[in-house]
Amino acid sequence: MKAFVVTTYGPDGLREADVARPTLGPGDVRVEVRAASINPLDKMVRNGEFKQLIGHRLPLVLGHDLAGVVSEVGTGVTEFAVGDEVYARPRDLRIGAFAEEIAVDAADVALKPASLSFEEAAAVPLVALAAWQALVDLAGVTPGQRVLVHAGAGGLGSTVIQVAKHLGAHVATTAHTRDLDTVRSLGADEAIDYTSQDFTEILSGYDVVLDSLGAASLDRSLTVLKPGGLAISVVGPPDPEFARQLGKPLLRPVMAVLSRKVRRRAKTLGVRYSFFFMRADGARLASLATLYDDGTLRPVIDRTFGFDQTLEAMAYVEQGKAHGKIVVTR
């Protein structure tokens, strides 16, 4: 079958190839991929940024988000049947959405929201799970709290805004001038134009900040938190708790060193820091599907590419100009 495969780590390491169909094991479902979306995480995996932490082995079919149709079920699978329309974010060692087919652990799969097309559904799993897990499971956001979301027009930010509003939070976000109306339409109470405004001069007393931009933004974000507030980064540096999540306690000292500077800075300011890396969860995707079907949440898509244009789609994402998710379709 056709797939886009990482053959060597680096910017030029992804290429189209013919590969064997994925093996279907007990507890798996085989899915004919109708659409997949691209995430910054795909670039990071392609470049080898997680090769020591997660243990990917090359060659590796890339792709973390998909929607499609179940074509076969493994032994022991009773919750899905051939012909079911599903969506998924496969667990880290079983990614491979940039392909004609993928075998996924049934625990990572859910029936796709009935109201969404395959293209729309493929844009959802990673960012929806990340938003929910960061705001609910990690931060425990409650009604009335104040949440700052950076890059609110991006694939992740646009979803975090919506989930935070669903949870009853007051939401601020940073965005480019051209995207201010968009982020307001998603529910942002305060939209800060980062081209002309400094969010640190406007905001204060926030309970949670979710940062996806990097070290400079994260450092400044710590200053707008109230005492005890939490800064969450999805781009690092990883902290000791991440070693526990990976099941690699021996890495705790390494991650403590990597995050020492930001954790020390947070402690000085009387706030907290946490690195966040989302996990696959089909049951949560099933519950999130109801929020898409009732209109509480909606996918935000910048543009779509054909499957044969996956490399071009990756390049488009790397330019950092996407306003929402980028989807490839078959």
CB of 118 closer than 8 Å to CB of 68:
yes
Q: What is the pLDDT of residue 132?
A: 98
85 forms bridges with which residues in the sheet? 69
Pairing state between β 28-38 and 65-73? antiparallel
User: Are residues 176 and 110 both part of a single domain?
Assistant: no
The domain that holds 184 is classified in CATH as: 3.40.50.720
Q: Please indicate, yes or no, whether residues 227 and 322 belong to a single structural domain of this protein.
A: no
Does residue 62 sit within a domain?
yes
Q: What is the domain range of residue 232?
A: 126-275
Phi, then psi, of 93 in degrees rounded to 5: -85, 5
Q: Is residue 287 part of a domain?
A: no
| 178 in the same domain as 93 | no
What angle (nearest 5°) sits at the alpha carbon of residue 27, between those of residues 108 and 278? 20
- 8 A C-beta contact, residue 193 and residue 209: no
Q: Are 211 and 150 in contact (CB under 8 A)?
A: yes
Looking at 260, 275, 290, the residue that finishes a domain is 275
Angle between helices 125-132 and 155-166 (to 10 degrees): 50
Q: Are residues 103 and 136 in the same domain?
A: no
Helix and strand numbers (H, E) in the chain are 12, 16
Q: How many domains does the chain have?
A: 2
Q: What is the pLDDT of residues 170-213, one digit of tens each?
A: 999 999 999 999 999 999 999 999 999 999 999 999 999 999 99
Angstrom distance (rounded) from CA 177 to CA 156:
18
Same domain assignment for residues 114 and 232: no
Question: For the CA atoms of the chain, what is the radius of gyration?
Answer: 19
Per-residue tokens: 20: 């064997």
Q: Are residues 263 and 140 in the same domain?
A: yes
pLDDT of the residue at 54: 84
Express each pLDDT in 208-239 by its tens digit: 999 999 999 999 999 999 999 999 999 989 99
Contact indicator for 193, 177 with CB cutoff of 8 Å? yes
pLDDT at 87 over 80: yes
- Is residue 28 assigned to a domain? yes
Residue 294 lies in a domain: no
CA atoms of 76 and 106, how far apart (whole Å): 10
What pLDDT, on a 0 to 100 scale, did the predictor assign at position 322? 79
> Which CATH number goes with the domain that contains 307?
3.90.180.10
Clarify whether residues 222 and 303 are in a common domain.
no
pLDDT above 80 for 100: yes
CB 124 within 8 A of CB 286: no
Can you say how many angstroms the Cα of residue 167 is from the centroid of all Cα atoms in its chain? 19
Percent of the chain with pLDDT over 90: 88
Kindly state whether residues 134 and 250 are assigned to the same domain: yes
245 pLDDT higher than 90: no
pLDDT confidence of residue 82: 98
Q: What is the pLDDT of residue 325?
A: 95
Shared domain for 152 and 163, answered yes or no, is yes
Residue whose C-alpha is closest to residue 126's, from 82, 65, 208: 65
Token pair of 180 as six digits: 């201010």
Label residue 306 exposed, middle or buried (CB < 10 Å: 0-12, 13-18, 19+).
exposed
Q: Is 94 in the same domain as 172?
A: no
45 with 153, same domain: the answer is: no
Count the Cβ atoms, other than its own, within 10 Å of residue 9.
Answer: 16
In a domain, 281, yes or no: no
Q: The pTM is what? A: 0.96
Tell me if 215 is assigned to some domain: yes
Lateral strand order in the sheet of 206-211: 190-193, 170-175, 146-149, 206-211, 225-233, 272-275
Does the structure show a pLDDT above 80 at 90? yes
In a domain, 280, yes or no: no
Q: Cα separations (Å) of 189 from 21, 171, 202?
A: 47, 5, 13
* pLDDT at site 27: 97
pLDDT tens digit sequence for 27-76: 999 999 999 999 999 999 999 988 877 888 899 999 999 999 999 999 99
Asked whether residue 109 falls in the same domain as residue 42, the answer is yes
